[in-house]
Amino acid sequence: MGVGNEQIAEYWSEAHDRCWRCGYKSLLEQCRIVPESLGGTDSADNLVLLCGRCRREAPNHQDPQYMWRWLRATRAESCDTYWTIRGWEEFEVMFGRKPLACFTDAGDLTTECRELAADEFAKTVERFGEGLNPSTIACMIAEIEKRLADRHGIVLP
């Protein structure tokens, strides 16, 4: 079995309904490991199953090792967390600090955060049925922080 076939077997248990990279249940697309324009075929050892968002981010290179390296390096550790984690990272890029870092002395905020997150979800929209993008998640986190800060008398940087 070639490298592609081994990887296909490894992910097969979830391949029918979860993206091989982000782990979200989604309409999956066959993505060539080596693009057709670079000599790639439609054979099973040259295909991975990705959602549309991940397919757009996938490497398009003649050497198949880059697809496998990208998948291993960026694959979600658990299902349904990838884009949320990316949102937290986007927050750091946008605001130059870690989310909720100012609340170390505020105690357990889990219940409050969940309630506020439910309110923030109502203020967002998904594009093309793809779920929330990382920048939208970052904005939601910023709004949750603002509301928590107001409630707990904390000044945000």
- Max alpha carbon distance in the chain (Å)? 61
Position 1 confidence tier, pLDDT thresholds 50, 70, 90: very low
Relative orientation angle of helices 110-121 and 134-152, to the nearest 10 degrees? 130
Q: Rounded to an integer, what is the distance from CA 106 to the centroid of its chain?
A: 29
Q: Rounded to an integer, what is the distance from CA 10 to the centroid of its chain?
A: 20
What's phi and psi for 127, nearest 5 deg? Answer: -95, 125
- Global pTM reads 0.69
pLDDT at 3 over 50: no
pLDDT at 6 over 60: no
> Which residue, chain included where needed, has tokens 């079995």?
1
Note the pLDDT tens digit of each residue in 51-107.
Answer: 999 999 999 999 999 999 999 999 988 888 888 899 999 999 999 999 988 888 767
Query: What are the residue boundaries of the structural domains of the chain, listed by start?
Result: 3-74, 82-152
> Which residue, chain included where needed, has tokens 């928590």?
148
* More confident: 148 or 7: 148
Rounded percentage of the chain residues whose pLDDT exceeds 70: 89
